[in-house]
Amino acid sequence: MKQDNPPAQKCSVCGYALQPLHPEAPGQWQRCSRKLCGHIQREPIATDSSDSPLFTDVAPAPAANSLWGKIRGSFENKTQSASKDRELWERLYLPETPGKLLELGAGDPSAILNLTRLGWQQIEAWHLCPQAPQEWQEKGVSLKSGEPDLSSYPAESFDAVVLRWALEQSPEPLTLLKNAWRLLKPSGRFVLIAWNSNSLGCELFAAQWLPFTIAPHRRLYSPGSLRQSLALAKVQRKFALFTSFAGQLPQSQPPQPETETEALRQKALKQLEQDPLCGEALVLVADKAQTDD
């Protein structure tokens, strides 16, 4: 008797069929078969997030001294270097004029401490790892634990909203994007930093690429799938979308030897000149206009 094949699983972003990816990686990762999308996702797996590796920022590259012009220039010129990007990374691509900030993140939250030195005193910071608030309290970083219910916040409550390595873990990413945009005041800035599934690290390390081994991760975005997600969330404001190695070099689990870090940095920067979308971090920056809903 002929058996019916089970229906193919669909990409949560564009609806195309998913294909198996790195069966030896933790969890059942699949990639969208539509090349322009390239979204990577898996079914949520109940695991202890305290066992997940904590990725940290890398040693500084040469600093720059500009902000939005450099971001826009990098986006329009399709090229970028560490010398342009490091200072921007350290201030999370936020405006030079401080205001009220909402930040939802994972990984190393030390950028929050740096922002307070730059004048950002009204910061509500949430960290997705339960252990992080206790660990960083001693270092002067005030954090809340978990993912807040952003729908309960009044509209236009913040001058800036930053989602940093958070979209990958959210059970409802489109809702998170919609609410983050809703909370912005007119002329406010939205910044999103996410792992890039089209990155050099994903190519180099395959199943050992660090984001595959972080237990709470549900999905990994490509430039194409992130653009589509913004459209689905109705964040239709023009934005700059580019990739960066400034704060995050390719990482594997287990980690590569420290002696290889500089060679890896040089390889990454050279590769970025050839392919501007191969950086580990996807960075999206959008300023909300006075007329946005």
The pLDDT confidence band at residue 82, using thresholds 50, 70 and 90, is: low
Cα 128 → chain centroid: 13
**Which residue did the predictor score with more confidence, 162 or 275?**
162
Query: For 89, how many CA atoms within 13 A lie in the half-sphere containing its CB?
Result: 28
Residues in CB range of 266: below 8 A, 6 or more apart: none
Q: What percent of the chain has pLDDT over 90?
A: 46
The helix (H) or strand (E) run that includes residue 18 is strand 18-20
Least confident residue range of 94-98, 131-135, 145-149: 131-135
Give mean pLDDT, residues 220-244: 90
Burial 107-130 (b: 16+ CB within 10 A, else e): bbbebbeebbeeebeebbbbbbbe
Contact assessment for residue 202 and residue 38, using Cβ atoms and an 8 Å cutoff:
no
Q: What are the tens digits of pLDDT across the range 182-202?
A: 999 999 999 999 999 999 999
Task: Name the amino acid, one letter, at 167.
Answer: L
Q: What percent of the chain has pLDDT over 70?
A: 81
Give mean pLDDT, residues 52-78: 43
The pLDDT confidence band at residue 77, using thresholds 50, 70 and 90, is: very low
184-195 and 158-164 strand pairing: parallel
Give CA angle at 199 (196, 200), nearest 5°: 155
Amino acid 8: pLDDT = 62
Amino acid 15: pLDDT = 93
Residues in CB range of 275: below 8 A, 6 or more apart: none
3-state secondary structure 120-163: CCEEEEEECCCCHHHHHHCCCCCCEECCCCHHHCCCCCEEEEEE
**Which residue did the predictor score with more confidence, 233 or 53?**
233
281-287 and 240-244 strand pairing: antiparallel
Amino acid 292: pLDDT = 61
**Which residue did the predictor score with more confidence, 145 or 58?**
145
To the nearest whole number, what is the mean pLDDT of the chain?
82
Residues in CB range of 170: below 8 A, 6 or more apart: 147, 176, 218
β-sheet bridge partners, residue 204: none
Give mean pLDDT, residues 136-148: 83
d(CA 50, CA 216): 10
d(CA 8, CA 33): 11
Q: Where along the chain do its domains lie?
A: 18-40+68-287
Q: What are the tens digits of pLDDT across the range 8-20?
A: 689 999 999 999 8
Q: What are the tens digits of pLDDT across the range 24-38?
A: 766 789 999 998 999
Class of the CATH-defined domain 18-40+68-287: alpha beta
d(CA 172, CA 147): 11
Q: Is the pLDDT of residue 76 over 50?
A: no
Residues in CB range of 218: below 8 A, 6 or more apart: 41, 42, 44, 168, 169, 170, 171
Give mean pLDDT, residues 242-249: 85
Q: Is the pLDDT of residue 51 over 60?
A: no
- What is the side-by-side order of every strand in the sheet holding 18-20? 18-20, 30-32, 40-41, 219-220
Amino acid 63: pLDDT = 36
Q: What are the tens digits of pLDDT across the range 108-138?
A: 888 888 898 899 999 999 998 887 777 777 7
Residue 165: name the closest of 41, 55, 250, 51 by CA: 55
β-sheet bridge partners, residue 176: none
